[in-house]
Amino acid sequence: MSRRRLVPASILLAALGGASAQAQAQKPPPEAPNAVSPVLILPPTLPPKLVSTYPTRDQVVAPGVLILKVAFDQQMSPTAWNYAPAAGAEPMDCVKTPRLLADQKTFVLLCRVLPNRTYGVTLNAERAGGFANLGDNPAETAVLTFKVGADAPVTTMRRAMQAAGLNDDQTPVQDAPPAAASGAR
């Protein structure tokens, strides 16, 4: 081969190499491999089942302070719940919001009941927005009725917690955390 032919070929290769490098520089950077979306998708779940209550159905309890306790078979959402009076029974006088205990399956609700009455509560009277698991699958509607006798009344939270089988750290109400006072000394 003559030297004349090699020079244009080498110039052509250099030109092609430069154009390729310029095209690489103009490409947008590739996306990070295995990028994960911040959306959490939970698998379908069965509706939660009510496994225990206090008081139990038709149980006779003492009047006064009562802690209604309902436990489900799976972890529940702390913000999804509703309850209403049961048909044909006295409505209970309770605080508005139940507390979900640390086991994430048991709710407790502070109430007051009067002697010689039959009380009833409907859990998930409206399933939408009612007790639901972490996958937002609501529990079936359940009705609990119980009787209150004329025994000596329960007058302390401690006795009400013992009757419901709760430990000291399972109170139905919790103090709000102290607000940080800015500039206060």
Give the C-alpha separation, 7 to 11, whole Å: 6
Is 146:58 a contact under the CB 8 Å cutoff?
yes
pTM of the shown model = 0.72
Cα–Cα nearest to 82, from 74, 90, 73, 94: 94
Query: Is the predicted pLDDT of residue 182 greater than 60, yes or no?
Result: no
Residue type, 63: P
What is the pLDDT, as a whole number, of residue 183? Answer: 45
Q: For residue 62, what are the contacts with CB-CB under 8 A and spacing of at least 6?
A: 148, 149, 151, 152, 153, 154, 163
Query: Is the predicted pLDDT of residue 22 greater than 90, yes or no?
Result: no
The architecture (CATH level 2) of 50-163 comes to Sandwich (2.60)
What is the pLDDT, as a whole number, of residue 173? Answer: 86
Query: Is the predicted pLDDT of residue 11 greater than 60, yes or no?
Result: no
DSSP E strands: which ranges in the chain? Answer: 50-54, 60-61, 64-72, 83-85, 93-94, 99-100, 106-113, 117-123, 142-148
Share of the chain above pLDDT 70, in %: 72
Tokens, residue 9: 């070929």
Residue 6 CB neighbours (<10 A): 10
What is the pLDDT, as a whole number, of residue 54? Answer: 98
